[in-house]
Amino acid sequence: MTPFVDATPKEFDFIFDVNVKAAFNVAQIVIKNMIERKCGGSIVNISSQAGQAALKDHAIYCMSKAALDMLTKTMALEAGPHNIRINSVGPTVVMTDMGKMAWSDPQKAQDMLNKIPLGRFADIDEIVDPVVYLLSDRSSMINGVYLPIDGGFLAT
């Protein structure tokens, strides 16, 4: 990630294309199809704790995830009458290959871990399980929600 003063328009466009525009375009196609088929259903956007809390050197990323969170809410309002639920999850750092690489600097990792009351980063299954729940009929009354999966990061 890049400090705000060093961020480039190219970086801005790339991050927004991946984190906002892609979700917008895919959801628009899927929701139109669901409405035409009158099938209802659920979509879960993968956001980040960074959409709710500023992180140093992450200005563009934080902005993009905040935009995705608001997109989630507006889609929930518009798709809800068609029995289509839209929610998002906001993970902390997840120990994927990319997460391990991005947070391999011990000092950088420790600085973030110090802000997480549970004192650790998330495993992949800890993100997948809540997503599966939100996609299931067991969460049929949950719509327009941002669910933090951050070990308490946002509580601090």
Helices 59-79 and 22-37 cross at an angle (nearest 10°) of 10
- Give catalytic status of residue 61 as yes or no: yes
CA nearest neighbour of 84 among 127, 144, 25? 144
Which token pair is 116? 């997480």
Percentages of the chain per state (helix, strand, coil), in multiples of 5:
60, 15, 30
Instruction: Please enumerate in sequence order all residues whose Cβ is within 8 A of that of 132, keeping only pairs 6 or more positions apart, or say none.
Output: none
Catalytic residue among 21, 32, 38, 65: 65
Report the C-alpha gap between 100 and 98 in whole angstroms. 5
Q: Residues 35, 36, 38, CA angle at the centre, nearest 5°? A: 60
Specify whether 133 is catalytic.
no
Active-site position among 61, 108, 115, 133: 61
Catalytic residues: 61, 65
